[in-house]
Every structure is written in C-alpha cells, then in structure tokens.
Amino acid sequence: MAGRNFEKFVDLASKIVAVGKNYADHIKEMGYAAATAATKAEPVIFMKPTSAFITQGQKIVFPPGCKNLHHEVELGIVIGKQARRVPENEAMQYVAGYTVALDMTARDQQEKAKKEGLPWTLPKGFDTSCPVGPFIRADQLVDPHNVQIWCKVNGKLRQDGTTKDMIFSVPYLISYISRYITLFPGDVILTGTPAGVSAVVAGDVIEAGVGDLSQISFEVARNDEQQ
C-alpha cells in the first residue's frame, strides 16, 4: 500500500460499496424479520457513485422529490490494494484504514423502490449522499469490531451503537464483495448502521463519530441554499 496517499481516499476511490441490514437492532427498527439477517451468508449490497462524496464544509442537499431524508452513521473501510476473490482470513491485509461516513438515504424513495422491486440507486446515490470524515489509519483502529459508533442531530444523540453488533465482519464483507466486484485502492465499503436512524430537515446539523478517533459535522442545506 506504499506510495498511495490514502488521506485523499475520496479522490482515489473508484466506487462506494455499501452494506444494508448489518446491525440486528436496525433491522428490527426497519421492520425486517430478524431471521433474514441471522442467515449469515448473504449480506445486502448496494452502491453509491463517488459523486455522492462530500467532505467537511460541504452541505447535505435533499434530492428532488424527497420528503424524508435519513441519516445512517457507518464505519467506512478504505481499501488499500486491489482485492479480487480474497479469502476471509487474508482480507484484513487489504484494509488501508477507515473513515466515519453517513449513508444519507431518501427513505421515502427507498421504501417505494423496495415495494416495486426497483433499484436503490437514486434514493441512496444522489449527490451529497455520502458525507465522510478524514482517513483513519488501520493502526489507529486495531479492532474495528469493538468501537462505539454514534450520531447526533442538533446535539441530540440519535444513534449510539457499537461495531461489536455487526452481523457481517469487516473481513467477511471484503471477502464476500470481492467475489463479485474487484475493489481498488481508495474504494470505500460502508458497513451498515446501528439503530436510531431518523429524519433530518433543512438547517439541521448532523454530528457523528467512531469512538474518540474521529468526529464529523455536516449541515443539511436550507431550502434557499439547495443549489
């Protein structure tokens, strides 16, 4: 992984692969049967384009037609080297580091897509739908399966989970995804969100973090700023 500047993973990334339903308490709040999650074999995989990234100072903008925009705080994995059909027991070698990410979701549009059997691309992949924080080196988070992950809206705690509760682990996800889709240096995997997702409105400030390693803050644009 030498020679790459992973501080700039947002510029390096060729894709964002995301995982749905990876925390049992969030699965419950979304009304899914817990049993479907317990079948530890097939994670739910979707994508956001890299045009969805925003970084500190940029604002989250509602996509056209969305009336119900949700925050989902997630631990993001930053891939360190090309990963294709990687065995689970070697997968951690492909991790350059991590980031705090928000998987912003047009929940109303996603629910409609689910009902109609249609793709999640627009509800999940619209511009500004992936606010991310700075790069966290792998050696700063030695155990990615034992860290607090939290999200506040206007100072009020909404999500307070721990990565201990992930159903599919970091190496399992890398191994599983890389069976289908080759991952490249800088690519980001969003590992799913714990319970507590909720709607935000124009002017809200979302703060989120992973333990005491990294904290991010993003504002939701006001209607008159929505350009």
Q: Does 193 bind Mg ion (CB under 5 A)?
A: yes
Restricting to residues 74-113, name those near Mg ion by CB under 5 A: 103
Among 1, 14, 59, 195, binds Mg ion (CB under 5 A): 14
Q: Does 47 bind a copy of itself (CB under 8 A)?
A: yes
Work out how close the CB of 223 gets to Mg ion at its nearest, in angstroms, rounded to a whole number: 25
Q: Write the DSSP string, the chain.
A: -TT--GGGHHHH-S-EEEEES-BHHHHHHTT--HHHHHSTT--EEEEE-GGGEE-TT--B-PPTT-S-EE--EEEEEEE-S-BSS--GGGGGGGEEEEEEEE--EEHHHHHHHHHHT---HHHHHSTT-EEB---EEGGG-S-TTS-EEEEEETTEEEEEEEGGGBSS-HHHHHHHHHHHS-B-TT-EEE----S---EE-TT-EEEEEETTTEEEEEEBPPGGG--
Q: Does 1 bind a copy of itself (CB under 8 A)?
A: no
Question: What are 155's two structure tokens?
Answer: 């100072």
Give dist(CA 99, CA 135) in Å, integer.
5
Q: Does 128 bind Mg ion (CB under 5 A)?
A: no
Give dist(CA 97, CA 93) in Å, integer.
10
Q: Does 17 bind a copy of itself (CB under 8 A)?
A: yes
Closer residue to Mg ion in complex, CB, 121/223:
121
Among 5, 56, 58, 121, binds a copy of itself (CB under 8 A): 121
Return the residue nearest Mg ion (CB atom): 103
Restricting to residues 157-186, name those near a copy of itself by CB under 8 A: 179-184
Work out how close the CB of 211 gets to a copy of itself at its nearest, in angstroms, rounded to a whole number: 29
Work out how close the CB of 191 gets to a copy of itself at its nearest, in angstroms, rounded to a whole number: 15
Work out how close the CB of 20 gets to a copy of itself at its nearest, in angstroms, rounded to a whole number: 7
Residues near a copy of itself, by CB under 8 A: 14-15, 17, 20, 44-47, 49-52, 63-64, 84, 113-115, 117-122, 124-127, 179-184
Interface residues with Mg ion (CB under 5 A)? 14, 72, 103, 193
